[in-house]
Amino acid sequence: MGVFFRTLRVYLTNLGLFVAGIFSAVFAVLFYLPKKAIPYLKKTFSSARLFLKRAAVLVLIAALVTGSLWLALSTGEQKKAVELKLNGNTVGWAETKAEAEQARTAALSALGITNADGVEIAEGRTPACNLKSAATLSQLLQRALSNGRVTVCEVVVDGIVLCALEDESVVRSVLNDKLNRAAAAYPDSTVSFSETVALRSASYEADDERIWTPEKFKLAVGTLDAITVQHVACEKTVSPLAYDTVELQTNTLFIGDSRVRREGRDGQEYVVDLVTYVGQNKVLSKQLMSVTVLQPVSRVVERGMRAGSLTTSQGYTVTQTTGVFAWPVVGLYTVTSLFGPRSLGYHHGLDISGANAAGSLVVAAAGGTVVEAGWSTGGLGNYVQIDHGNGIETLYAHMQNNSLMVSVGDVVTKGQALGRVGNTGYSFGAHLHFGVLINGTVVDPAPYLGL
């Protein structure tokens, strides 16, 4: 400290001499002859140059002392900050939590790390000189995370990581080889991977089990088809165009009768499809164009609409209604009870009767197979039920005892005799109960008889 003050005294003395010399030089210039003043000025400015050199050294020493004092004071001042840690060890400090999170996100993204369990962010206090920018903090964290890790090439299939290899060139070689073999097998097709395959750089722990050897990757991709190849080709075919059927109504035929007026004929269509295969399996087909080279010819069928009568070989006449069925009883045409609600309960059919009804012949309304025949415990008396196909059945009830002329399993034709009108079962006078069932559900028979 004594040396410092001695040096300071010397410089202050020289400074006073310099100032005095300046005033003396000015005075000499003003009041003495130039030839006497000039040598004096030379001597004065020589001392000034020496002083300026010493003054520069003094200013430098003062700056160093001042800077050291400021650094000591600022270093000792603690301020609120956010600490970024890795496995409990400090990586660096950020001024705000947002900057620390930004540094963490950038570092993990740069290394391709998704699991950040060891990276922590905590609030604390630190000297201002320890604060780092987000970019610098990210670089420090990357450096810390890379310790004990390796950079790998991740193989991502449809957004899911399949594996990783340390040598990206091996990955590309295996994938290209698979595409080249498919291209050679299907030279007229465009080949590509069925899945979306992406490669990206990432950082893994050196002993991570997701890191495969080249041999394992070649086996999985080349042999086991962990990644599959599709090939797309244009296929040209001539396909049949199915004909349709047109029905015409005619009065030249009785109701229920039909005839083919013209046979149908298929057409032909030239089709170009864009077909995608995985191996030999067709997985997608998109029609690009179609041209009809031969128009189909419709099949024309005439359906009879004329009501009329059918005379059987047994000598009785069956009336063909304007509905789909023939009238189910010979000689009786009076409907005594309709389908629907009535005083005795809901009626599930039509009752047909007339003068001298007992013993009148009951006939099949259409051809079919007898599925039930005999006595009913449900109030129908002696009855017959016929299946006409397509879910359509007819029911004939209350027939005379010992009058049934068919048995279960018999195939009957339209107008064939089934039995005779009677008064058996839950009945209050001789009549025929006629019912129609569609898929097992009773419906109103009237429309089927043209009523």
What tokens appear for 413 in the block? 């034709």
For residue 93, the model assigns a pLDDT of: 92
**Does residue 372 have a pLDDT over 60?**
yes
Mean pLDDT of all residues in the chain? 83
Q: CA distances (Å), 346 to each of 4, 340, 349, in order?
A: 131, 5, 9
195 and 64 housed in the same domain: no
For residue 393, the model assigns a pLDDT of: 95
47 and 181 housed in the same domain: no
The share of the chain scoring above pLDDT 70, in percent, equals 81
Q: What is the pLDDT of residues 49-85, one digit of tens each?
A: 665 666 666 767 766 656 555 555 455 568 899 998 9
111 and 159 housed in the same domain: no
Contacts of 326 (CB under 8 A, 6+ apart): 256, 310, 318, 319, 320, 363, 364, 365, 366, 414, 415
Count of structural domains, the chain: 5
313 and 402 housed in the same domain: yes
Q: Is 372 helix (H, G, I), strand (E, B) or coil?
A: strand
117 and 140 housed in the same domain: yes
What tokens appear for 378 in the block? 């449900």
**Does residue 420 have a pLDDT over 80?**
yes
Q: What is the pLDDT of residues 290-335, one digit of tens each?
A: 999 999 999 999 887 665 666 777 778 888 787 888 899 998 888 9
Q: Where residue 3 falls among pLDDT bands split at 50, 70, 90?
A: very low
48 and 170 housed in the same domain: no
**38 or 326: which carries more pLDDT confidence?**
326
312 and 424 housed in the same domain: yes
Distance of CA 122 to the CA centre of its chain: 41
Pick the last residue of a domain from 258, 286, 302. 302
For residue 22, the model assigns a pLDDT of: 55
389 and 351 housed in the same domain: yes
339 and 355 housed in the same domain: yes
Q: Give me the residue label for tokens 């990581």.
A: 161
- Domain containing 66: what range? 2-73
89 and 188 housed in the same domain: no
pLDDT, average across residues 246-269: 82
Pick the last residue of a domain from 114, 147, 180. 147
Q: What is the pLDDT of residues 331-361, one digit of tens each?
A: 888 898 899 888 888 899 999 998 899 999 9
Among 336, 327, 380, CA closest to 355: 336
For residue 267, the model assigns a pLDDT of: 94
Q: To 10 degrees, what angle do helices 34-75 and 2-31 make? A: 150
CB 157 within 8 A of CB 196: yes
Among 96, 165, 106, 103, CA closest to 131: 96
For residue 39, the model assigns a pLDDT of: 57
**73 or 421: which carries more pLDDT confidence?**
421
167 and 246 housed in the same domain: no
Q: Where residue 237 falls among pLDDT bands split at 50, 70, 90?
A: very high
Q: What is the pLDDT of residues 143-189, one digit of tens each?
A: 888 777 888 999 999 999 999 999 999 999 999 999 999 999 999 99
179 and 258 housed in the same domain: no
Pick the last residue of a domain from 132, 147, 162. 147
